[in-house]
Amino acid sequence: MRHQPRTNGRAVLPTIYRLGERRLAMFSTYAQFGAAEEVALADMKIELMFPADAEAAGFLTELASG
């Protein structure tokens, strides 16, 4: 289950994921197409996730390499 703290206007959101016994510290930020002329793009937001510590980075690297 994901717990998302209140942002208080911050651009970066720290988040802890639990995968079984594993703890993954991540942080995320949002990107938005602010100058898009197309209405569908103007409303689109993308959440970008990044590892916040070496354990999370190692797990994601291992996951990506198959």
Dig out the tokens for 11 from the structure.
Answer: 């651009």
Average predicted confidence (pLDDT) for the chain? 80
Which neighbouring-strand residues pair with 32?
A: 45
Every domain of the chain and the residues it spans: 12-65
Confidence of residue 64 (pLDDT cuts 50, 70, 90): very high
Quote the CA–CA distance of 39 and 47 in Å, as a whole number.
19
Residue 5: predicted pLDDT: 52
User: What is the rounded average pLDDT of the residues 32-38?
Assistant: 69
pLDDT of 42 above 90:
no
Task: Output 7 or 33, whichever has higher pLDDT.
Answer: 33
Q: Tell whether the model's pLDDT for residue 6 goes beyond 60.
A: no
Structure tokens at 6: 């209140």
> Is the pLDDT assigned to residue 11 strictly greater than 60?
yes
